[in-house]
C-alpha cells in the first residue's frame, strides 16, 4: 500500500497517509464518521526530500497499514514550523477541500504579474492566518514579506488573493454591498491607506481568521520564499461549473 506525504495549511502540519489525495481530503475535512465539518487545504509533497528538521526518513516505518490491512489514514509528523522546512521543489499539487469533503485538485502554473497597479487582499494560510490588504502584487508581496532585511518576516508564506469587487478599481466609491466580508468600512479605510502615496505597502485587516469563502478567491493560491514562488490558479467559473460542479456547488453555498 502506497504512502503519501501531505503539507496541510489548516492546520499547518506534515502528515503521512495511506490514502490518496482526494480520499485523504474527504477524510481530513469530515472525519472517518463524517461528523466533522471543516475546510482543508493541503499540498502533496515529494516524500523523498531530505530534511534535518522534519522526520521524513521515518515515514514508511510510521505510516504502515493496520494489522487488518486497512489504510493508516493520518500520521502527524510535525505541527511546528513545517512550511519553512519543506523546500519549494518538493511541493506538488494543491488540494482545496470544502467543509463537506469535496476536493478540488490544482496544478501549479507560471505566474504572470498584471500590468496595472491596484490593491489586493490576501488571505494568509500559513504560517499565520491573517488577512492583509496590499498595494503589492503577489510576487512583490512574497519578496517583501520574506526579505532578510524585513524587521517582521516569514521564511515562506502561503496565501490566496481574494476578490475586492468594485473596490479594486475605485476604493473611494466602489460598491461594497455585494462583498460577503465583515467590517466593510474598515476594509475601505485599509485600502485607502495602502493606496496612498507615502503610505504602507501592507496593512493587516484581520489579525486572525478561520474559514473563508472559496467562491471569493480571485486568481488562486501562492506559496513562496527566497527559493521561489509557486502559483496555483483557481479555475474559471465556467470551468468550475462544467468540470468540477460538485466542488463548486459546495463552495458556493458555504
71 contacts: CB under 8 Å, gap ≥ 6: 1, 17, 18, 19, 65
Cell output for 242: 462544467
**Is 34's pLDDT higher than 70?**
no
Task: Report how far apart, in Å, the C-alpha atoms of 145 and of each of 57, 81, 132, 231 are.
Answer: 31, 16, 12, 17
Q: What is the pLDDT of residues 2-19, one digit of tens each?
A: 999 999 998 999 999 999
Question: Mean pLDDT over residues 132-153, rounded?
Answer: 93
Q: Bigger pLDDT: 123 or 36?
A: 123
Task: Please report where in the chains the cell 461528523 appears, as a residue.
Answer: 35
Residue 251's pLDDT band, with cuts at 50, 70 and 90, is: very high
Reference 6, options 81, 59, 65, 69; nearest CA is 59
**pLDDT at residue 210, as a whole number:** 82
Residue 183's pLDDT band, with cuts at 50, 70 and 90, is: confident
Q: What is the pLDDT of residues 73-97, one digit of tens each?
A: 999 999 999 999 999 999 999 999 9
**pLDDT at residue 35, as a whole number:** 61
Q: What is the pLDDT of residues 211-228, one digit of tens each?
A: 899 999 999 999 999 889
Q: Which burial class, exposed, middle or buried, applies to 198 when counting CB atoms under 10 A from its CB (0-12, 13-18, 19+)? A: exposed
**pLDDT at residue 15, as a whole number:** 97
Residue 237's pLDDT band, with cuts at 50, 70 and 90, is: very high
Over the Cα atoms of the chain, what is R_g?
19
Rounded distance, CA 89 to CA 228, Å? 9
Cell output for 18: 495511506
**pLDDT at residue 33, as a whole number:** 60
**Is 47's pLDDT higher than 70?**
yes
**pLDDT at residue 199, as a whole number:** 76
Cβ atoms of residues 202 and 190 within 8 Å:
no
Residue 43's pLDDT band, with cuts at 50, 70 and 90, is: very high
Rounded distance, CA 126 to CA 106, Å? 18
Mean pLDDT over each residue of the chain, to the nearest integer: 94
- Length of the chain counted residue by residue: 254
Cβ atoms of residues 22 and 101 within 8 Å:
no
Q: What is the pLDDT of residues 163-180, one digit of tens each?
A: 999 999 999 999 999 999
3-state secondary structure the chain: CCCEEEEEECCEEEEEECCCHHHHHHHHHHCCCCCCCCCEEEEEECCCCCCCCCCHHHHHHHCCCCCCCCCCCCEEEECCCCHHHCCHHHEEEEEEECCCCCEEEECCECCCCCCCCCCEEEEEEECCCCEEEECCCHHHHHHHHCCCCCCCCCCEEEEEEECCHHHHCCCCCCCCCCCCCCCHHHHHHHHHHHHCCCCCCEEEEECCCCCCCHHHEEEEEEEEECCEEEEEECCCHHHHHHHCHHHHHHHHHC
The number of CA neighbours under 13 Å toward the Cβ of 172 is 2
Amino acid at each position: 500500500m502506497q504512502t503519501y506525504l501531505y503539507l496541510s495549511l489548516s492546520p499547518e502540519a506534515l502528515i503521512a497517509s495511506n490514502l490518496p489525495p482526494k480520499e485523504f481530503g474527504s477524510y481530513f475535512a469530515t472525519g472517518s464518521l463524517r461528523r466533522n465539518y471543516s475546510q482543508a487545504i493541503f499540498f502533496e509533497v515529494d516524500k523523498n526530500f531530505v530534511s534535518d528538521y522534519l522526520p521524513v526518513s521515518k515515514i514508511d516505518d510510521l505510516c504502515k497499514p493496520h494489522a487488518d490491512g486497512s489504510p493508516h489514514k493520518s500520521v502527524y509528523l510535525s505541527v511546528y514550523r513545517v512550511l519553512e522546512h519543506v523546500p519549494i521543489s518538493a511541493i506538488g499539487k494543491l488540494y482545496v477541500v470544502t467543509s463537506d469533503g469535496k476536493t478540488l485538485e490544482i496544478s501549479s502554473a507560471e505566474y504572470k504579474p498584471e500590468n496595472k497597479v491596484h490593491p489586493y487582499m490576501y488571505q494568509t494560510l500559513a504560517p499565520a492566518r491573517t488577512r492583509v490588504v496590499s498595494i503589492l502584487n503577489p510576487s512583490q508581496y512574497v519578496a517583501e514579506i520574506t526579505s532578510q532585511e524585513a524587521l517582521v518576516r516569514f521564511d515562506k508564506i502561503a496565501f490566496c488573493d481574494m476578490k475586492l469587487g468594485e473596490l479594486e478599481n475605485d476604493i473611494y466609491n466602489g460598491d461594497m454591498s455585494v462583498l460577503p466580508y465583515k467590517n466593510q468600512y474598515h476594509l475601505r479605510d485599509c485600502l485607502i491607506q495602502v493606496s496612498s502615496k507615502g503610505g504602507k505597502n501592507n496593512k493587516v485587516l484581520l489579525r486572525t481568521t478561520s474559514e473563508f469563502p472559496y467562491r471569493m478567491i480571485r486568481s488562486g493560491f501562492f506559496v513562496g520564499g527566497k527559493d521561489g514562488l509557486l502559483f496555483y490558479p483557481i479555475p474559471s467559473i465556467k470551468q468550475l461549473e462544467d468540470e468540477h460542479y460538485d466542488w463548486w456547488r459546495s463552495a458556493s453555498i458555504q
